[in-house]
Structure 1
Amino acid sequence: MKRTALIAILSACALASAAVAASSVTTLPTGWKIRGNDGPVATVGTLPTGLVLSRDGSLLIELEAGHRKPALRVFDAATLRELRSLPLNGAYGAPLRDADGDGVWVAVPGTFQEQIAHVDVATATVDRAVSLPLPFYPVALAHARGGRLAVAGDVANRVAIVDPAAQRMIGGYDVGHHPAAVLSSPDGTRLYVAERGTDAVDVVGAVRAHIVVGRHPDALAADATHLYVADSDDDDVAVVDLATNRVVQHARIPFARAGAFGASPNALALDGDRLYVSCGAANAIAVFRTGPHGLVPLGAIPTGWYPTAIAVDRAHGALYVADGKGESGHANPRFSPLVRGPDVDFIADNLAGSIRRLAIPDDAALQHGLADVRDLAQHDDVPSSPVVRANGPIKHVIYVIKENRTYDQILGDVAGADGDASLVMFGEKITPNQHAIVKRFGVFDRFFEDAHVSADGHNWATAAFANDYLEKMWPQNYASRRPFYDFEDGAEAAVPHGGYLWDDAARAGVSLRNYGEFVSGGPSGPTPVSTSSEVLGKTTDRNYATFDMSVEDVDRFTEWKREFDAYEARRALPQLEIVRFPRDHTSGTRAGAVTPQGMVADNDLAVGKLVDAISHSPDWSSTAIFVLEDDAQNGPDHVDEQRSTFYLASPYAAGGVQHAAYTQASVLRTIEILLGLPPMSAYDAGAPALSAAFTATPNLAPFDALPAQIDVRAKNGAAAYRAADSARFDLAAADRVDDATMNDVLWHAVRGVRATPPPYGAFR
């Protein structure tokens, strides 16, 4: 079945809360599947992060903290009909219900004002607020002793103690990096704080302790005897004895893949003797029985895309699950950057979350659900292949990472493939080499990014994963509510369990050279190239420019070629090279900068020259070149907003039109097989390898790069469309520019000032 047939059709008001009908199995752009719910489903805004029920169970209160304007919504719990909503300037985490009422406190983080606010649920109004010191970034709240509140500050590495009656902060505690959750002990004398940037829980208050649990703990729950900690990058729940502050068990998520991590346990809910564990990356809830002998797995519950929160109402037999990414992927052929406001159709705005209501399952249903969750996960076997295998004919892999393009933007004009020529922005005249590559080596018209934007894109492209910290925090950064872009170059909280491709290679003794990936500074800037990774520090070419749009990709190629020639002279080409060609990102129409067409053409020429150089070398017969974008955020596509370009260049490439669905994780899985590396996450472990894209009979004819057909150094004039806006763009790193604005600039730069972008319309 074509992927288009599996994409749910949403109405024009899909991002307003509304009940939607249950569907059958839906395949996500990642290749994983979700099953529709038999009960009510409400579509909400972007990234719901918390749920809480009113005391009598009649109301469900949801907080959402995605790219769109944050909000608190109140639903009729039985029907999931929205009753009222409250827009907020910022939001994160779960609402905290009053100790003696149905009002809630919410964390309201932001760049210029940070506070916690109390919401009257009956009227959906803020009736009081407490300001917090800058920078703080509140992410979690808990009741503390004496009617006070404890507030965890992700940026401040601190827990503030707030007197809600006096509406002021009265003290606090320094804790570890990136506190993500806070919980009071049953007697109120201690606070437990999950440190998402480390592997520990801090205990503060009457007793001070430091409990090592597991990687990146980000959710807490407790009963009278035990503390339960969701270790988001270890796929387990750590059980801590409250009397001794010792870990007595690590309960593995029952559907976690053996030998590969990637379930992302991220929220906990205790109900009697059951513990429910939301597992975002696995699209499922794990369920355990609690007891004196620890946690016993009972089974699982399938959910929507990326669950983030759970609420349980035993009295009414109902379980509520918030899904951070909703019920499906989305095509965006009508993307219109000219439409401002809540419906610009930008990918981060299209990630509409959902809430599901379902009956609390019995033990037998949980066992059935466990089998269902395992079946819905991607688990493609690797077929026998004379080429895609360890110790096969391919000994060298060149892995090229580019920036931010959809399939239709570049290859929508390729005959015989599933493209929409009306959406082409940088067609064959601007990208002759990429078009020549697909004619010679094959075109992939069902290649999907696992990623949404560059923040998670460079992680998916190099780790086959984006962990829960990344999934939760990049929307805050892209919405300009959080100033820190701490998602690359080894930022502590974002590093997944399995590490990155270079770590995988180093552990296996695979020789590596890195050109521009996960580094900062650069030869063209005031600081030298640097990286926080010890492995990359030893294997990075420090003369290779980093993310700097003033540097031509052809110059990057020249530096790469200098080393390549030296390797060839010694017959010592590394087994794996990672090459970043970022200039197809462009600088918009900034006056004096190279035009978008020129930058994309320069990028195309660099790719063509690299394939040309390798194909004319002695190592051509043993090499495969993989070229992809880190994400597909900056443009329209009629199949899916996560569909992008992918190029395979090798003597063993089968050629033709490849309709099979592949992802970034598929590319990494293929590279791992070729080089004898283990998978890094559950995603590359289960992704289909590109075995069918290779043939056993090589075509050793070299590839000759085509010259640019336009001026790659043509400059934007002062009168260029939105040149003044482009001059203000922050291009020091990827994706610091609002993509709707950048895409508007690019469309008009390519099509002309009077050109009309695809008309805005309903989601498809």
Structure 2
Amino acid sequence: MSDSGGLAVSDPKVVPAVALKSSLATGRSDPVALRQPETAEKSGAPLTAGELLPTGFSITPKAGEGARFQPLNPDLPSRPDYLAGQAVATNLSPDGKTLLILTSGYNRMNGSDGKRLPEESNEYVFVYDVSKGQPVKRQVIQVPNTFNGLVWHPSGLEFYVSGGVDDKVHVYQQSGGKWAEAGAIALGHTAGLGLAVKPMAAGLAVNKSGTALLVANFENDSVSVIDLKKRVKTAEVPLRPGKIDPAQSGQPGGEFPFWITIKGDDKAYVSSQRDRQVVVLDLTRAQPEVVSRIPVGGQPNKMLLNKAQDRLFVANGNSDTVSVIDTRSDKVLSEIRTTAPAALFANPENFNGSNPNSLSLSPDERTLFVTNGGTNSVAVIQLEDDGKGGQVIGLIPTGWYPNSVSLSQDGKMLYVVNGKSNAGPNPGACRDTTSIAPGAKDPCAANNQYVWQLTKAGFLSMPVPSASVLSQLSRQVAYNNNFPGTQRAHQDEAQMKFLRERIKHVIYVIKENRTYDQVLGDLDRGNGDPSLAVLPEPITPNHHALARRFVTLDNFLDSGNASNDGWNWTTAARTTDFTEKTIAVNYGGRGLSYDWEGTNRNINVGLPTQEERKAANPATPDDPDLLPGAIDVAAPESSEGEAGAGYLWDAALRAGLSVRNYGVFLDLARYSAKPGDPGYIAPSHTPYQDRIVQAYPTKPALQPITDLYFRGYDQSTADFWRFKEWEREFEGFVQDGKMPALQMVRLPHDHFGNFATAQDGVNTVETQMADNDYALGLLVDKVSKSRYKDDTLIFVIEDDAQDGPDHVDAHRSIAYVIGPYVKQDAVVSTRYTTVNMLRTIEDVLGLEPMGLNDGLSKPMTEVFGNAARPWNYTALVPEVLRTTQLPLPAKTADNCLSPARPGLAYDRPRRDAAYWETVMHGQDFREEDHLDTGQFNRALWTGLMGDGKPYPTVRDGRDLSKNREALLGASDGIG
């Protein structure tokens, strides 16, 4: 330790002791020539294997000397074992004795009747005594809603918490030795900007004299000024250029303000996440106003001033940098990358994904600590003597997705909170608020096993490491995140090179929300639980046949928790910090809009101008300053720094490959419009012939490569008709020999819904799942009988696995690889994830990885062999589908399911559309996941399994891959 309490490694003469062996540094010019993690034996140090995550990385939060990693228990009298999730902010009191921790996320719980318990469904402020270093919990305060904002008054006599969607700020003061709410200050917003958006109070800051509190209005693109003496809002400062100066109408700026930092009493800095800028406010005027805008990296979030207040440090969550700003000139002095020391990981391709999101300075201000949410670490940055820049000299491992870091006043202790944890098995798989139908009970919801309920926060406290300990911890972080080592995976390279020379086309099929056990639990091989197979072989014969014919992947995990982050993992192999901070809040019903598939505030921001947006959707508001420009706040940027260009299609287009999009990243709001409404899109079985456009892409890059006649996510439309539109274009590719290198095909009907309005009689859970199954089978059938069968691979994935139970893990799902060189009649139990599948697609097509996650992950080589095995496939028609009006072929021996065991006949739905419409009453199927998933899953179970079979609740995680015949025989299943 330094005498002043800073980290010893800030002394330049200590740096060589901290620097990692240069032999660990490696570049990556070949798309597949990347590493395996260096083993403990090779490194000569006892590295820990760690806890595996569904992202493919690992965590070791207790690796540091003296590290203490504890859950956040709010001490609920009714549920003493309950643990909170989604910790997002920490703040140390001015006297250094009290640490506050804030949660902002899901944190919802249900009672035995399935209804939400208000007293167990709040957010929390944890109050810790840190006067003696190690934290001691003193109090937990419940807050109805929050969103990241947490700040002390300079006096230390009160603190403030943003009320999030409640559009207020809560004030807390000491009372009888405890902190208690002393009132709330309303901000006065009636709505947020956009379509059906509520306000959202975010970051908070207090001026030096303690007279004014500023609030970032996340959904209103403004800052509220509060007089702390009068406890009232005195001003609203617009941040959008066109609302300040009409001459700048239509210019982007100041949107999605997240964090605020105040210099003295005169100047405030506001991070604008959408517009990659820090907005500067002059507070000396009667009406504070914007005086300048400072361009910084992607998605600026939290900011920090040094003691002299001449340096502002800004964490840029999308570009993996910290901007250092001179507050006298308001110019950026330097950008510091936060991923790793250069000697540990050179990262010459500038892969992004570290997601820096919080900062803290050592007392001597020579060391900056930055949480890297994406790599589950704290970056230790040695600052230059002149304060103009710095470099990462070490990494400290944390829990999953750290969101905030604070340093004790003496600089000896580090406090870090993280937002997530592994979920584990979820056979209950339920959440939330209401019963299945009016007057009914939902005991399933009492299990509280929805994935966001199982995702918990963590609190790491540890001594600031010495130089030698930091060196070891840095190597541990490198091991956890698969940073490059000296040894390369020659077998993987050879296999993928072999495939790349032979495979010229990839079809990437993305489906919705099913777990492994729901669909393949009754398969005669692999680790499935037949008692959880609510969608068994009679309903899903093609899913089962393809798993048998090729490879059964019984240990595949979707990286996302739900569709909001799932679609980003599935198309970009990463999430941004914006996404991580907003998804659980939105799914907990605490505000925000579904901003993760190319719309922001329900506006198609893939179209840059108001005129284009209104032409595509007449419901667009008449406001030229509403999110102008084709900028998506949630989108990842490319390694070249191009905003919003970090997706799979971007990588393929940069490589000069042809791409075709069927249903991915479309304006979903269009499908919820009714006949006669603005923006209504009439469905059609033959949209191309009828010239009825069905798709409006939300990404500029997708505009010219999207089949505009392929209908996107709409549960009223059968996947059969989506297949027929895809088939129309595919037959053209066969005829002209110009099949795209990459096709993305969305088949969403395994999500289920819209039973009353579903077309063609595909209006029950069984028929909708069978429709999805048959469409997948038809697509594989079509390819297998075409000229492209020997140079095409088909990859099939669910974007997430949230809508059902699984006895192994809430993230475990179905996944397929189909085509030549794929093993046949094989079971592969290697743990693969969404990221591994994307890495495999990239390697097959010769693409550069999109970011750190895929760039540092292995391809799925266990799935392949080097023999060009002949393959063909004939789609099976699920018998239950013959009860619909879909135009199906006559039954033949080839397209009819041959039961693998007795009792598999399932030729009619158990319930009709009216039943499903009743038990799903109140559900919102207009966009994916806008459901009460607990109600949904319970209704699904009862409707398919019957009232006599109790809903499973035991979380076991057993290996059921052995003795399958006996296990299947013992299960009464659904057949």
Alignment TM class, shorter chain as reference: over 0.9
Which string of whole-angstrom CA distances, capped at 9 and with x for unpartnered residues, describes residues 522-564 of structure 1? Answer: 6546985212322211011111111111100011101100110
Partner residue, 1:658: 828
User: Residues 54 and 102 of structure 1 are in contact (CA less than 8 Å); yes or no, is this contact kept in structure 2?
Assistant: no
- 1:236 aligned to 2:376? no
Instruction: State the 1:673 CA deviation.
Output: 1.1
Give the distance between the partners of 2:540 and 2:497, measured in 1 at CA.
29
Number of the residue aligned with 1:115 = 168
Write the distance in 2 (CA, Å) between the matches of 1:384 and 1:179.
45
Greater mean deviation of Cα atoms: 598-607 or 122-131? 122-131
AA in 2 matched with 1:200: Q
Shift of 1:336: 4.9
1:589 & 1:749 partners in 2: Cα distance? 13
Structure whose CA Rg is larger:
2
Give the structure 1 partner of residue 70 of structure 2.
Answer: 42
Alignment of 1:534-545 (within 5 A): 534-545=700-711
Indicate the SS of the match to 2:71: strand
TM-score by structure 2 length? 0.73
What secondary structure is seen at the aligned counterpart in 2 of 1:620?
A: coil
Conserved 8 A contact 1:217-1:232:
yes
> In structure 1, the residue corresponding to 2:854 is in which secondary structure?
helix
Summarize the Cα distance change of 1:389–1:179 in structure 2 as closer, same or farther, 3 Å threshold: farther
User: Are the aligned partners of 2:807 and 2:955 in contact in 1 as well (CA < 8 Å)?
Assistant: no
Quickly say closer, same or farther: Cα 1:718–1:214, change in 2 above 3 A.
closer
Measured after TM superposition, the shift of residue 706 of structure 1 is: 0.8
The range that moved more, 742-751 or 604-613, is 742-751
Cα 1:760/1:344, change in 2 over 3 Å: farther
**TM-score scaled to structure 1, two decimals?**
0.92
- Tell me by how many angstroms 1:297 deviates: 2.5
- 1:133 Cα deviation (Å)? 2.5
CA contact (8 A) 1:335 1:758 kept: no
Aligned to 1:692: 862
Closer, same or farther in 2 for the Cα pair 1:556/1:591, shift >3 Å? closer
- Confirm or deny that 1:88 pairs with 2:159: no
Q: Contact between 1:388 and 1:694, CA under 8 Å: does it hold in 2?
A: no
**Structure 2 residue corresponding to 1:144, chosen from 183, 202, 207:** 207
Instruction: Note if contact 2:212-2:225 (Cα within 8 Å) is conserved in structure 1.
Output: yes
Could you tell me how far 1:660 is from its partner in structure 2?
1.1
In the other structure, the counterpart of 2:590 is 481
Q: Equivalent residue of 1:73, what SS?
A: strand
Shift of 1:709: 2.3
| AA aligned opposite 1:284 | S
Shift of 1:253: 1.1
Aligned partner (choices 642, 646, 651) of residue 811 of structure 2 = 642
Q: Find the counterpart in structure 2 of residue 309 from structure 1.
A: 404
Q: CA deviation at 1:687?
A: 1.5
Q: Give the whole-Å Cα distance in 2 for the aligned partners of 1:388 and 1:117.
A: 59
Counterpart CA distance in 2 for 1:240 and 1:251 is: 11
Q: Which one of the candidate residues 720, 728, 734 is aligned to 1:562?
A: 728
Q: Deviations over 1:5-49 (max 9, x none)?
A: xxxxxxxxxxxxxxxxxx972111222111142433221211111
More strand by share: 1
Matches within 5 A, 1:383-532: 383-386=492-495, 391-489=500-598, 491=600, 492-498=632-638, 499-520=646-667, 521=670, 523-524=681-682, 528-532=694-698
Q: Which moves more between the two structures, 455-464 or 407-416?
A: 407-416
Which residue of structure 2 lines up, in the alignment, with residue 14 of structure 1? none
Partner AA of 1:535 in structure 2: A
- Counterpart CA distance in 2 for 1:295 and 1:608 is 55
Deviation readout 1:325-364 (Å, 9 max, x if unpaired): 14x4422234356447785110011111010110112333
Q: Distance in 2 between matches of 1:40 and 1:132?
A: 39
Shift of the 415–82 alpha-carbon distance from structure 1 to 2, 3 Å rule, reads farther
Quote the Cα distance in structure 2 between the aligned partners of 1:123 and 1:657: 58
Alignment partner, residue 344 of structure 1:
448
Instruction: Give yes or no for the alignment of 1:128 onto 2:298.
Output: no
Deviations 1:244-276 (A, max 9, x none): 111111111141744211000011112222211
Could you tell me how far 1:208 is from its partner in structure 2? 1.0
Q: Residues 150 and 167 from structure 1, CA distance in 2 versus in 1: closer, same or farther, beyond 3 angstroms? A: same
Pairing 1:584–2:637 present: no
Q: Distance in 1 between matches of 2:743 and 2:52?
A: 32
SS of the residue corresponding to residue 567 of structure 2 reads helix
Q: Aligned equivalents of 1:341 and 1:163: distance in 2?
A: 44
Letter paired with 2:700: E
**Alpha-carbon distance in structure 1 between the residues aligned to 2:445 and 2:547:** 38
- C-alpha distance in structure 1 between counterparts of 2:799 and 2:700, whole Å: 23
1:167 is the counterpart of 2:214: no
State the distance in 1 between where 2:525 and 2:873 align: 22
Aligned AA for 1:30? Answer: T
Q: Which amino acid aligns with 2:381?
A: F
2:839 corresponds in structure 1 to: 669
Residues 145, 189 of structure 1: 8 Å contact kept: no
Using a 3 Å threshold, how does the CA distance of structure 1 residues 600 and 718 change in structure 2: closer, same or farther? closer
Please provide the CA RMSD for this pair: 2.3
1:720 aligned residue: 915
Provide Cα deviations, 1:607-640, integer angstroms capped at 9, x if missing partner.
0010000000010000000000000111111221
Partner of 2:125: 72
Q: Quick one: distance in 1 between partners of 2:955 and 2:872?
A: 46
Moved more, 82-91 or 634-643: 82-91
Decide which moves more: 59-68 or 625-634: 59-68
Question: Which residue matches 2:889?
Answer: none
Q: Distance in 1 between matches of 2:444 and 2:810?
A: 19
Residue 56 of structure 2 is matched in structure 1 by: 31
Residue 619 of structure 2 corresponds to: none
Once residues 333 and 97 of structure 2 are traced to their aligned partners in structure 1, the CA distance between those partners, rounded to angstroms, is 38
Counterpart secondary structure, 2:101: strand
The runs of 5 or more residues in structure 1 that have no matched partner are 1-22
Amino acid at match of 1:253: T
Aligned match of 1:739: 933
**Per the alignment, in what secondary structure is the counterpart of residue 385 of structure 1?**
helix
In structure 2, the CA distance between the partners of 1:395 and 1:316, relative to structure 1 (3 Å rule), is closer
User: AA paired with 1:215?
Assistant: G
Secondary structure of residue in 2 paired with 1:759:
coil
Preserved CA contact (<8 Å) 1:524 1:545 = no
Contact 2:496 / 2:843 at 8 angstroms: preserved in 1? no
Matched with 1:210 is 293
Aligned-pair distance for 1:387?
5.2
Map 1:599-614 to 2 at 5 A.
Answer: 599-614=768-783
Which range moved further: 25-34 or 312-321? 312-321
Question: Separation in 1 of the partners of 2:756 and 2:68?
Answer: 49
Structure 1 position 72, deviation (Å): 1.4
